[in-house]
């Protein structure tokens, strides 16, 4: 049975904090907000649902989570026959989170974040999630799924009354990308703080020591990417035998990235019979296998057609020539609003961001060749508005949650319709309007027609040249150009070459001076000073 309902009016969007302000979530796993309604939190009982863990009391206990009555044992996990997903109860849209049974303390936190009225996916799933059932939520990107699973998870952990133990988190959220892990943790942080719970992230691309320290100190909720989590499990830095609630977010994207074998290994180490929530846009590429194997009698909710574009999203195709493409893209990105540009390759993203910045349009890049600190810095600059344009590869299509992206441009048309859907889903979020533009050359026309048909859209196709009125209507009035920062000074060439038995070191004098011998490449420290010691900055 499919749940459906119109999106009620709301004051603000269900997005994570993207202002760059501290939010309490991160690899440190610090506990924050302990004085914030810690005594008045009611836990899951406010939902009217019964706790799924028999024997759990508010006094806590040192044991692991108790499986549901009739649930398969740990030895049977992954092999017990599963019944097909249970149809959802009739969907009744809720006007407030209080009507869904959300604790008043969390309702106040959501209101402080500008989240007043539940989105359809939240109205549809929360009653069953709060009742302790396994839930399969299907909805397109930007539908508000994070809050849909974050609130029930926090209430379940508070209701169980257990304390976090070293290296044994109580809840696990698996996500496909680092950016999405950071965004999910940011959304959960204020909710967890109201319940006096700790949150940390676990992903690669950064040093693991802060993550290991946080786990050793004890955290309640871990938001993780599969690869780094498996590394820490293999090092005995993390155990999942105390997990009470498991969430798989963007499960279909994890399948696209080839993460499903690791996801299965991770789920096999969590206790059977505990609550599991899976959120995905589709059920292809092996997701149905995860549902049958790991979810017990799941209730399915689908609030919209995942292949359909949001009603406030307009689609355009601009046909250009190869020699005018760069100028057309620059004009599209020159408006006052935020623009997100997608390229096919990492090199293309880097090259385009540099071109735009030098042309007076502040732009930053986001792709897999960047270190995690640089990725976070660039995303923060885009969120704060210091850079109006973000040029990204598909790695960002599932990990960017930034409000008010008015324009998405496919500089290089994607190769398949799912990528188009998820790229485009960065705009027209939370009921806002947005435009999606695909830039194509004539030789790409056939592929773009196929793409549009598979994505279920009917774009407006226009042949344009630089300065065309269609471009201005999409970009809006152009913002003033910004003088690009001066390029970083190039490092001075090394003085003194490799050691030579013939007395030629490359120094100006032609002889091998002691300084040249120690400071040149023979010393192994380029740019060093005499004695081979590096300048500190």
Q: What is the pLDDT of residue 258?
A: 86
Domains, the chain, in order of start with CATH, read: 83-302 (3.40.50.300), 313-475 (3.40.50.300)
pLDDT given for residue 453 in this prediction: 92
Closest C-alpha to 182, from 375, 424, 422, 390: 375
Pick the more confident residue, 421 or 274: 274
Tell me the C-alpha distance between 406 and 427, whole Å.
Answer: 6
Residue 345 has pLDDT above 80, yes or no: yes
50 or 388, greater pLDDT: 388
Of 143-147, 213-217, 360-364, 462-466, give the lowest mean pLDDT range. 143-147
Cβ-contact 366, 426 below 8 angstroms: no
DSSP letter for 165, please.
Answer: B
The pLDDT-based confidence of 484 (bands split at 50, 70, 90) is confident
More confident call, 529 vs 155? 155
Q: What is the DSSP string of 307-346?
A: TSPPTTEEEEEEEE-TTTHHHHHHHHTTBSSEEEEE-SSH
State the pLDDT confidence band at 404, using cuts at 50, 70 and 90: confident
State residue 205's pLDDT score.
Answer: 85
Nearest alpha carbon to residue 476 among 421, 532, 433: 433
Nearest in space to 203 (alpha carbons), one of 138, 254, 147: 254
| Interaxial angle between packed helices 104-112 and 145-160, expressed in degrees from 0 to 180 and rounded to the nearest 10 | 140
Q: What is the structure's pLDDT at 352?
A: 96
Distance between CA atoms of 206 and 304, rounded to whole angstroms? Answer: 37
Give yes or no for a contact between 188 and 154, defined as CB atoms under 8 angstroms apart.
yes
State pLDDT tens for residues 487-522: 666 565 555 554 444 444 443 344 443 333 333 333
Query: So what's the pLDDT on residue 421?
Result: 78
Better-predicted residue by pLDDT, 137 or 523:
137
The C-alpha atoms of residue 148 and residue 118 are separated, in whole angstroms, by: 9
Q: What pLDDT was estimated at residue 420?
A: 85
- 274 class by beta-carbon count within 10 Å (0-12 exposed, 13-18 middle, 19+ buried): buried
DSSP H helices, 103-259, are 104-112, 120-130, 145-160, 178-194, 209-217, 226-234, 251-256
| Res. 195: pLDDT tops 90 | yes
CA distance 421 to 309: 8
Which residue did the predictor score with more confidence, 122 or 30?
A: 122
Q: Which residues neighbour 286 within 8 Å (Cβ) at sequence distance 6 or greater?
A: 255, 260
What are the CB-based long-range contacts (under 8 Å, 24+) for 262-266? 262/226, 262/227, 262/230, 263/174, 263/226, 263/290, 264/78, 264/290, 264/293, 265/230, 266/172, 266/174, 266/226, 266/229, 266/230, 266/233, 266/240
Q: Please state the rounded mean pLDDT for residues 470-475.
A: 94
Residue 442 clears pLDDT 50, i.e. is over it: yes
Query: d(Cα 86, Cα 73) in Å, to the nearest integer?
Result: 21
Per-residue pLDDT tens for 304-334?
A: 554 455 557 889 999 999 999 999 999 999 9
**Closest C-alpha among 144, 79, 78 to residue 116:** 144
State what percent of residues in the chain have pLDDT above 70.
67
For the cut 90, the answer to whether the pLDDT of residue 209 exceeds it is yes
What are the angstrom distances between the C-alpha of 387 and each of 377, 379, 482? 11, 9, 10
Q: At how many degrees (to 10) do helices 287-294 and 260-268 cross?
A: 10
Q: Name the nearest CA neighbour of 373 among 228, 206, 179.
A: 206
Dist. CA 33–CA 195, nearest whole Å: 8
| Residue 523, SS3 per DSSP | helix
pLDDT grade for 62, boundaries at 50, 70 and 90: very low
User: What does the alpha-carbon distance between residue 306 and residue 98 come to, in Å, rounded to a whole number?
Assistant: 28
Q: Which residues pair with 299 in a beta bridge?
A: 86, 135
pLDDT of residue 190: 96
pTM beyond 0.85, yes or no = no
d(CA 530, CA 4) in angstroms, rounded, equals 72
């Amino acid at each position: 049975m499919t749940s459906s309902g119109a999106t009620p009016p709301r004051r603000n969007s269900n997005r994570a904090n993207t202002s760059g302000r501290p939010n309490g979530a991160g690899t440190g796993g610090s506990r924050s907000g302990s004085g914030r309604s810690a005594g008045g939190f009611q836990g899951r009982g406010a939902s009217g649902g019964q706790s799924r863990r028999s024997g759990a009391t508010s006094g806590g206990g040192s044991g692991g989570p108790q499986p549901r009555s009739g649930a398969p044992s740990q030895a049977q996990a992954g092999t017990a026959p599963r019944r097909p997903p249970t149809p959802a109860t009739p969907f009744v849209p809720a006007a407030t989170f209080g009507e869904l049974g959300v604790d008043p303390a969390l309702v106040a936190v959501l209101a402080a974040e500008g989240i007043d009225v539940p989105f359809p996916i939240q109205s549809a799933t929360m009653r069953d999630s709060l009742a302790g059932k396994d839930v399969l939520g299907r909805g397109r990107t930007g539908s508000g799924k994070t809050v849909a699973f974050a609130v029930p998870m926090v209430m379940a952990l508070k209701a169980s009354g257990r304390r976090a133990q070293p290296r044994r988190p109580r809840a696990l959220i698996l996500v496909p990308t680092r950016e999405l892990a950071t965004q999910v943790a940011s959304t959960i942080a204020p909710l967890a703080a109201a319940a006096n719970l700790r949150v940390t992230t676990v992903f690669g691309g950064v040093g693991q020591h802060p993550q290991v320290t946080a786990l050793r100190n004890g955290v309640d909720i871990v938001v993780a990417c599969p690869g780094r989590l498996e590394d820490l499990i293999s090092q005995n830095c993390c155990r999942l035998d105390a997990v009470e609630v498991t969430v798989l977010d963007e499960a279909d994207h994890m399948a696209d990235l080839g993460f499903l074998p690791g996801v299965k290994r991770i789920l096999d180490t969590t206790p059977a019979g505990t609550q599991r929530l899976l959120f995905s846009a589709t059920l292809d590429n092996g997701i149905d296998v995860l549902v049958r194997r790991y979810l017990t009698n799941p209730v399915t909710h689908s609030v919209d057609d995942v292949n359909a574009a949001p009603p406030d999203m307009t689609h355009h195709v601009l046909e250009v020539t190869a020699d005018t493409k760069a100028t057309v893209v620059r004009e599209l990105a020159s408006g006052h609003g935020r623009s997100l540009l997608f390229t096919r390759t990492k090199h293309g993203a880097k090259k385009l961001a540099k071109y735009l910045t030098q042309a007076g349009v502040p732009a930053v890049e986001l792709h897999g060749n960047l270190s995690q600190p640089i990725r976070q810095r660039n995303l923060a600059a885009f969120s704060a508005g210091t850079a109006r344009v973000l040029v990204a590869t598909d790695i960002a299509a599932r990990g960017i949650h930034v409000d008010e992206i008015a324009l998405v441009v496919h500089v290089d048309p994607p190769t398949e319709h799912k990528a188009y859907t998820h790229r485009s889903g960065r705009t027209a979020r939370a009921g806002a309007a947005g435009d999606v533009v695909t830039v194509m050359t004539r030789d790409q026309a056939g592929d773009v027609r196929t793409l549009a048909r598979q994505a279920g859209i009917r774009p407006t196709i226009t042949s344009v040249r630089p300065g065309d009125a269609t471009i201005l209507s999409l970009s809006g009035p152009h913002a003033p150009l910004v003088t690009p920062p001066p390029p970083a000074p190039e490092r001075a060439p090394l003085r003194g070459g490799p050691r030579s038995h013939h007395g030629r070191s490359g120094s100006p004098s032609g002889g091998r001076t002691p300084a040249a011998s120690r400071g040149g490449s023979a010393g192994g420290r380029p740019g060093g000073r005499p004695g081979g010691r590096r300048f500190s900055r």
